Amino acid sequence: MKTLQNLIDGTWEDSRSGTSLDVVNPATEELIARLPGGCADDVDHAMTAAVRAQPAWAALPLAERVARIHAWADAVSEHVSELAELECREMGKPVGLGRSFIDGAVAGLRVAADQALTYPFEETVSRPDGSRSRILRHPLGATAVITPWNFPVPMVLGALGPLLASGNTVVVKPSEHSPLSTVRLFELLSLPPGVVNLVLGDARAGAPLAEHEEIRLVHFTGSVETGRRIGAGAGERLHRSVLELGGKDPVVVDAGVDVRATATAVAFGAFVNTGQICTSMERVYVHRDVAEEFVDALVAAAGTYTTGNGLDEDTVLGPLVDERQRDTVRRHVADAEARGATVRTGGIEPEGKGFFYPATVLTDVDESMLVMTEETFGPVVPVSVVSSFEEGLERASRSRFGLAATVYTEDPEHITAAARIPAGITWVNQWQGGGPEGRYEPAGDSGMGATGAHASYDAATRPATVHIAARPGA
């Protein structure tokens, strides 16, 4: 079986690492590809190309950089089904779901690139004394993007738009679990050599990349544990880091909502992508007035999430990414049961091949349980009954994470109060979505660095001011 190659300076080439890793289809447990383990030599080589390519890329007119990004988006949009199938084989995501997220990411790439056209890369402030200041936003230089496996293609597309449009070059290191779709994504590139480079591997490639002396920014999406290491390394070397990490997102369900519709929405938020979304709904606080009806409807909705191979168009619940992830899910459910939780549905794994886990609803849960405090990243939703909306809001806010939150309520005062939850984004009466103007910085352990709309351009550029004194007599 051929080992996947790196893309460096526009050329596909073998890794210098001499080691390899397996890619296993999580639905069948079959070996489907090999990739290099990665090494510092590969990273050095890629960084040299990125540093060399950067001045010429930044010197292109902005409109041309934006047009080149659109050309990539055009190419990707013609291969959405193929990319979704690769994602399915490498990490289990059902193909229909994969297609819809890749479509969304391509649209997002276009919007993000176009936002460069309204970004103030240069402003001049004139003063009454005749002096003026030019406020410039320079590209940072060569940057690193390190991505997780749960949305392989969208994660890369989401990070690259503002970095490239600002005139930076990039070295990308995708997750070792999901290299196939990223390799294909980069085969569709038509940017000048060295502007985007790809280095494959695990931490053996990620660590030297994140700590490379030539990088000016590391944009990392992944676990809190790895994020802390990357943040510490960035602090040591004084380069910028944007860290988009894990979550334990709460949902508050108020009295007076459409209970059945809300339960259906919560089932989707908890189970889609097999619960492996950083903003998956991971703990629910439901008002006691609607609790019984809500749990019954949630259990009924969970019954519609049957497991299967994601290549089958009818599958709604693919496997977890690997056995390690399934172990985490098992451990959280077992811990909850041992501490008094009730499994209302799910909890029993199907027999046979594949890292499957059923849609699971837990009740009688509290904050002594891992499933209520640590990221589970699986199709498990713990539901806790609260005696008031206020109590729901207070418990939703009590977490070391602060990525996103969702509130279902018809009460106008409660809609306003939803903003009190410390989170980068709070959705009210929907989950996911929002306009292109949204800006976020995760709270707590969920990360640091604001992104979204012009905030992504602030993160991708360095401001500098040139003061020009008034000329005497002018």
Positions marked catalytic: 244, 278
CB of 209 to ligand NAD, least distance (A): 7
Residue nearest to ligand NAD (CB): 206
| 371 vs 393: CA distance, rounded Å | 18
Beta carbons within 8 Å of 225's beta carbon, 6+ residues apart: none
175: contact with ligand NAD by CB under 6 A: yes
Query: Which residues are bridge partners to 24 per DSSP?
Result: 31
Q: Identify the residue among 203, 334, 415, 450 touching ligand NAD (CB under 6 A).
A: 203
230: contact with ligand NAD by CB under 6 A: yes
| 255 vs 389: CA distance, rounded Å | 8
143: its two tokens? 């940057």
- Evaluate whether 326 touches 353 at the Cβ level (below 8 Å): no
In what helix (H) or strand (E) does residue 457 lie, and over which residues does it extend?
A: helix 454-460
Q: What does the angle CA 288 – CA 293 – CA 294 come to, to the nearest 5 degrees?
A: 75
226: contact with ligand NAD by CB under 6 A: yes
From its phi and psi, is residue 310 left (phi > 0), alpha (psi between -120 and 50) or beta? alpha
CB of 4 to ligand NAD, least distance (A): 14
Q: Identify the residue among 98, 222, 250, 318 touching ligand NAD (CB under 6 A).
A: 222
CB of 149 to ligand NAD, least distance (A): 5
Q: Identify the residue among 229, 240, 353, 462 touching ligand NAD (CB under 6 A).
A: 229
Task: Write the DSSP assignment of 329-345 as a string of letters.
Answer: HHHHHHHHHHTT-EEEE
Residue nearer to ligand NAD on the CB measure, 40 or 415: 40
Residue nearer to ligand NAD on the CB measure, 29 or 202: 202
Q: Which of the stretches 44-52, 203-211, 263-271, 393-401 binds ligand NAD when contact is defined by CB under 6 A?
A: 203-211
Task: Write the DSSP assignment of 52-103 as a string of letters.
Answer: HHHHHHHHS-HHHHHHHHHHHHHHHHTTHHHHHHHHHHHH---HHHHHHHHH
17: contact with ligand NAD by CB under 6 A: no
399: contact with ligand NAD by CB under 6 A: no
- Evaluate whether 240 touches 220 at the Cβ level (below 8 Å): no
| 98 vs 273: CA distance, rounded Å | 9
210: contact with ligand NAD by CB under 6 A: yes
223: contact with ligand NAD by CB under 6 A: yes
Q: Identify the residue among 194, 206, 354, 392 touching ligand NAD (CB under 6 A).
A: 206
CA distances to 25, 116, 460 from 161, rounded to whole Å, are 30, 9, 10
Q: Identify the residue among 119, 149, 186, 294 touching ligand NAD (CB under 6 A).
A: 149
182: contact with ligand NAD by CB under 6 A: no
102: contact with ligand NAD by CB under 6 A: no
Q: Identify the residue among 173, 216, 395, 414 touching ligand NAD (CB under 6 A).
A: 173
3-state secondary structure of 405: strand
Beta carbons within 8 Å of 255's beta carbon, 6+ residues apart: 287, 289, 290, 389
392: contact with ligand NAD by CB under 6 A: no
244: contact with ligand NAD by CB under 6 A: yes
Could you tell me how many residues of this chain bind ligand NAD (CB under 6 A)?
Answer: 29
Site string for ligand NAD, 263-292 (x = CB under 6 A): ---------------x--------------
Binding site for ligand NAD (CB under 6 A): 146-150, 173-176, 202-203, 206-207, 210, 221-223, 226, 229-230, 244-247, 278, 375, 377, 403, 447
